[in-house]
Amino acid sequence: MTVLLESPPDSLDDRFALTANGQRLAALITPGLLAFDDASQPTPVLAESFREVSPTLMEFTLRPGLTFHDGSALTAEDVKATYDGLRDAAVRSPKAERYAVLERVEAVDVRTVRFHLKRPHAPLLAELSAGIIPAERASAASVVAQGEHPVGAGPFRFESWPDEEHLTLAPFAGWHAGTPALPRLRFRVVRDETTRVLELLKGRADLAVNVVSPAVLPVLRRESHLRVLSRPGTGFAYVGLNLREGPLADARVRRALCHLVDVGPVVEHKLHGLAKASRGLLPSAHWAWAPSAGCGYSPEAAARLLDAAGYPDPDGPGGRPRLTLSLKTSTDRLRRAVGLVLKEQLARGGVQVEVRALEFGTFFEDVRRGRFELFTLKWASVMEPDLLRGAFHSANIPGPENHWGGFNRGALRDASLDALLEEALRVPREERKVLYMEAQQRLDALMPILPLWHEDSVAVVSTRLEGFEPSAHGLLTPLARARLAPGAGKRTP
């Protein structure tokens, strides 16, 4: 089975994977104790069960008979070693900060592991979905080995990664839910969307998840050997803003840009209705979502704000711009198209934008390092509302201290927002909901990003592949439950 990707994974080691493709592929090889279903509820994976013993103690019981791909047994000692390694400064995981709340991990017996916290931490379950690896692979000395040939206990085992364009996985006979029915999986990185579409049309690929623009889906739907499946998704598209210096350090300018962006026509014409306009990071179906005023399309309000911020119109409509900004995006066709629409919409309000489309690796590195004014990007999925803290807390600004892994890429600093997001870590769910409502209202005022929409999850599937249902989060784990259609022959590489 051939699966198309639009960009290579940054890593197959879940401790280092920051891109969506890295995390999705790592989940096939090295799943965690638990995962999150389409409703963002935790579900056991390697764990058989879990319970909260106290606000500072969580206990997991592993499934019986778990084994890694190398045939060794997966025990509580491996779980302990995995999380000890994640927090080890020598390992240099960009995710280490997430586990600062852990006091210690205790292997009670072969199948029981306990997580002792320094203080109550409500989003703990979201952090305990990290991929479990063998104890001997968990230290700094084995980082290279795990990165080059990852070993886990997932439904598919690593087979080869000869270059960044090709990756092969094979079904793992020891998977606790039974050997996956699919044969060998071949992942191919095809950066150009036209080429991806042609590969699907010519029958040289079996699956493409969220990597085909809505505009070409009608063409694919007409093909008898292809199916287009979709469901409401949690992927969140937005415009990132660099708040460190310059015009965007002024909240009035940020709000003015928001008033100039008209999301409705983009959703209708560029996304063909396969998205829902958003006013913030959390989707409206999420338990922590709260209605907010947002900004709304209003060129008049934008003009007033730009005047007040010291960017008056120098010579009337159609003349010289009020200010000039640069927008970086990837070379993906849809993202480029969205960038050009944003350029046109902002120009109507006197904001000139230069759109720069970069190869994804270069683009993403510029975003991580703060080398941008504006950028377009998408959170692949939104599950745990503590993502608000990851994205907007001042402690999560990327830098050498977190190996450039912080998600507050625009460098927002706001003490009152920090306090709300920190308090939401320590209280029960209903109290968290109130705090997140206040946080969303505060973000409305600060406008550190320009919210765009939550995109549907769309999979283009060949008739050779049966039983695959797209995940709301865009995950690839449904491949573990899919099968080859009767009579489907082998594909020549």
pLDDT for residue 405: 85
The residues near 263 (Cβ < 8 Å, ≥ 6 apart) are 277, 278, 297, 452, 453
Residue of 291, 265, 279, 237 lying closest to 474 (CA atoms):
237
pLDDT for residue 41: 83
Which of the pair, 234 or 307, is modelled with greater confidence? 307
Burial bucket for residue 294 (CB in 10 Å: 0-12, 13-18, 19+)? middle
pLDDT for residue 316: 77
pLDDT for residue 178: 96
pLDDT at 64 over 80: yes
pLDDT for residue 315: 86
pLDDT for residue 104: 97
pLDDT for residue 155: 98
Q: How far apart are CA 155 and CA 306, in angstroms?
A: 54
pLDDT for residue 144: 96
Please name the residue ranges forming H helices in 373-474: 387-392, 415-423, 429-446
pLDDT for residue 382: 85
270 with 214: CB under 8 angstroms?
yes
pLDDT at 124 over 70: yes
**In which residue are the tokens 């694919």 written?**
220
pLDDT for residue 491: 60
Residue of 18, 28, 89 lying closest to 480 (CA atoms):
28
pLDDT for residue 333: 81
- The 10s digit of each residue's pLDDT in 423-433 is 998 888 889 99
Domains in the chain: ranges and CATH: 31-147 (3.90.76.10), 156-224+463-484 (3.40.190.10), 233-455 (3.10.105.10)
Question: Quick one: pLDDT band at residue 409, thresholds 50, 70, 90?
Answer: very high
pLDDT at 493 over 90: no
Q: Which of 13-22, 65-74, 188-197, 375-384 is predicted least confidently? A: 375-384
- The pTM score is 0.77
Q: How far apart are CA 276 and CA 53, in angstroms?
A: 39
- The 10s digit of each residue's pLDDT in 89-119 is 999 999 998 899 999 999 999 999 999 999 9
* Tokens representing residue 234 in the block: 């949690």
pLDDT at 318 over 80: no
- The 10s digit of each residue's pLDDT in 148-167 is 999 999 999 999 999 999 99
Task: Please give the share of the chain, as a percent, with pLDDT higher than 90.
Answer: 81
- The 10s digit of each residue's pLDDT in 377-395 is 988 788 889 999 999 999 9
Question: Quick one: pLDDT band at residue 490, thresholds 50, 70, 90?
Answer: low
Average pLDDT of every residue of the chain: 94
Task: Please give the share of the chain, as a percent, with pLDDT higher than 70.
Answer: 99
Q: How far apart are CA 152 and CA 132, in angstroms?
A: 7
Over range 28-55, report the average pLDDT: 93
